[in-house]
Amino acid sequence: MTETLIIRVQGLTREYRLGSETIRALRGVDLTLRHNEYVAIMGPSGSGKSTLMNVLGCLDTPTAGEYWLSGVEVSRMNDDALARVRNREIGFVFQTFNLLPRATALHNVELPLIYGGVSAGERRRRASHALARVGLQDRMHHRPSELSGGQRQRVAIARALVNEPSILLADEPTGNLDSTTSAEIMAVFEHLHGQGQTIIVVTHEADIAARARRVVTLRDGLVHSDQLQAAA
């Protein structure tokens, strides 16, 4: 079991200072994730799910507690080391896609490889392969403004996968998409999960969460419930 453990979080707290007030976004979260799990993190706004997602994505560091990712403690790492972990271990999919508007789909997908120090030829090969995996091989030289919402999100997924990360971290991935396109994107996730990808989806939509195999609900900075479920 332990050898397949990807995430181990213990007593994770995160506090913000806002003037004289201290906001406790996470109050001691415990969570473990194994390889090839498909987890939805739910909770009302203010429950701390965004903060948890930032900490899990190594975009933010916890105030206290431990976070082990792939057997390495990342909770005490400095900025540059975290950048390295984000580059190698984590693939992000955001609600607003977060593509570079002036760059082509191909260049957007190449970005993580550029920061990973991959050579130009290899970069191009891997980026076009990743785009082909999400069915966009014929849209490689389009800019985001020339793509539909669903296509943009698929570019973002290709970008998230191009470095073969340990976890795919999606934050409201269908929040800006219509229901047909949402279903399309969720089908892509389902497919990736089938290929062995570990996926965490942060969402407040029950039907999105229903696609996951496990649902973790946060409330007031603590894990409120943690349930396994059958595939929808």
- CB of residue 157 vs other proteins: minimum separation in angstroms? 13
Nearer to other proteins, 86 or 211 (CB): 86
Among the listed residues 67, 35, 37, 36, the one whose alpha carbon sits nearest the alpha carbon of residue 54:
67
Q: What tokens does 100 get?
A: 């570079």
In whole angstroms, how close is the CB of 206 to other proteins at the nearest point? 25
Show Cβ contacts of residue 73 under 8 Å, excluding neighbours closer than 6 positions: 66, 67
**Residue 83 vs 222, nearer CB to other proteins:** 83
Cβ-contact 197, 30 below 8 angstroms:
no
Starting at the earlier edge strand, list the strands of the sheet with 222-228.
Answer: 90-93, 167-171, 198-202, 38-42, 214-219, 222-228
Q: Tell me if 113 sits within 8 A of 163, measured CB to CB.
A: yes
Interacting residue ranges for other proteins, rule: CB under 8 A: 54, 57, 59-60, 79-80, 83-84, 86-88, 92, 94, 98-100, 102, 111-112, 114-116, 120, 159, 163
d(CA 164, CA 89): 8
CB of 212 to other proteins, least distance (A): 23
Tokens standing for 148? 């539909």
64 versus 100: smaller Cβ distance to other proteins: 100
Please report how close the Cβ of residue 117 comes to other proteins at its closest, in angstroms.
8
Cβ closest to other proteins, residue 68 vs residue 94? 94
Least distance in Å: CB of 198 to other proteins?
18
- Between 119 and 195, name the residue whose CB sits nearer to other proteins: 119
Please report where in the chains the tokens 């229901």 appear, as a residue: 179
**What size, in residues, is the chain?**
232
Task: Output 32 or 98, the one with its CB closest to other proteins.
Answer: 98
**How many Cβ atoms from other residues are within 10 Å of residue 87's Cβ?**
19
* Least distance CB 210 / other proteins (angstroms): 28
